[in-house]
Amino acid sequence: MTSVRSTPTAAATATVRPSITCVVPAFNEAEGITGFINGLCAHLAALTEHYDVIVVDDGSRDGTGFEVIGASGGLPVRLLSLSRNFGKEAAISAGLDASTGEVVVIIDADFQQPFHVIDEFIRQWQQGYDMVYGLRTSRSTDPPVRRFLSRAFYRLLSRCSSVEIPPDAGDFRLMDRRVVDALKGLPERSRFMKGLYNWVGFRSTAVPFVYGDRKQGTTKFNFSRLFDLAMTGLTSFSAFPLRLWVGVGATISACSMLYAFFIIARTLLRGADVPGWATLAVAVSFLGGIQLLSISILGEYVARIFTEVKGRPNYVVAERHGFNDPKRPS
Ligand code: UDP
Ligand code: MG
């Protein structure tokens, strides 16, 4: 690994052709994975003589792993089969842990991220950037509800978190080995990769691209998975939901005090009266709701702590193919 890169401010100097590892998380992608691997390898071969592709089969039940083995003949393609479906974040972590290239590119297995964008990633890396991420120019391929919720989530996250997470950036990105090593060093189990990429820092730049339609199969992210990911993102990168209740609690206490003064003053002036049951019922149920909500938010954080304390690995590898042959990038 001998590349010397210029800084982003300097003009491009030597055209360094880095060794590239492509990490491809795949869950039930048997239908199109052969075509995808062939297309990706042909594209990478034109970019550099040293590349490899690591497909992480994330517990697929449709024979994705067999397809990958079938497609890998003569190509520097490796397969990591996880023992069950651990989720995309864990699959990416598994791929990064096994990667050896000087740069690592993460790409989905469904053709939604065009291969030619990788050329621009490499050009930006050659200019001195350590992380180059794809930025979707439009979310028109997402259903309107997902688009709306996604926007709302990133707006909330940017308000609550000190780490800047670009809303239209995904996992499609190039990372220098230094960034990959920094990510590998993060011990947390609740992994929200989009946050972690930004947390590690380094010189980053965006490359806008048009997100394509899925060529085969359907999205693996239903509402409950997206909600789960959003909760992980929010609780991993912000303590704001916890702190919010200090403000809410203080406001409600202040209102209660004022109301207490009002009742005392009225009792002194007009004597005691029985009415007020409705006010009492409303106040009790309102406070009950607030308490349940705040306790459930506490519960979310306790659940994350519980996950971290158990210290279980992020994923378990059941099988590896192609990791012992000499086709590794040098
Ligand atoms: N994926 C994965 N594990 C999962 C869900 C998805 O490895 O549990 C992979 C999937 O096979 C694809 C990538 O992650 O290669 C992105 O998934 P998808 O296309 O369903 O997401 P979307 O494009 O709708 O955000
Ligand atoms: Mg997709």
DSSP string, 11-69: PP-S-----EEEEEEESS-HHHHHHHHHHHHHHHHHH-SSEEEEEEE-S-SSSHHHHHH
Q: Is 88 in the pocket of ligand 1 (CB under 6 A)?
A: yes
Q: Which H or E run includes 229?
A: helix 223-237
Closest Cα partner for 124 from 30, 244, 12, 199? 12
Could you tell me which residues are beta bridge partners of residue 53?
A: 22, 77
What is 10-221+313-321's CATH superfamily?
Spore Coat Polysaccharide Biosynthesis Protein SpsA; Chain A (3.90.550.10)
Residue 259 scores a pLDDT above 90: no
Q: Is 323 in the pocket of ligand 1 (CB under 6 A)?
A: no
Closest ligand 1 atom to 110 CA: 15
Q: How far is the CA of 211 from the centre of ligand 2 (A)?
A: 9
Q: Is 109 in the pocket of ligand 1 (CB under 6 A)?
A: yes
Residue 64, amino acid: T
Q: Whose CA is nearest to atom 21 of ligand 1?
A: 219
Please state the pTM of the whole predicted model. Answer: 0.80
Q: How far is the CA of 110 from the centre of ligand 1 (A)?
A: 8
Task: In whole angstroms, give the CA distance from residue 153 to residue 141.
Answer: 18
Task: In whole angstroms, give the CA distance from residue 322 to residue 281.
Answer: 68
Q: How far is the CA of 212 from the centre of ligand 2 (A)?
A: 9
Q: Is 32 in the pocket of ligand 1 (CB under 6 A)?
A: no
Residue 71 scores a pLDDT above 60: yes
Closest ligand 1 atom to 109 CA: 15
Q: How far is the CA of 11 from the centre of ligand 1 (A)?
A: 37
Task: In whole angstroms, give the CA distance from residue 321 to residue 65.
Answer: 10
- pLDDT band at residue 3 under the 50/70/90 scheme: very low
Q: Compute the average pLDDT of residues 104-116.
A: 94
| Beta strand pairing call for 169-176 and 20-26 | unpaired
Residue 330 scores a pLDDT above 50: no
- Tokens 């916890």 belong to 242
Q: Which H or E run includes 97?
A: helix 88-98
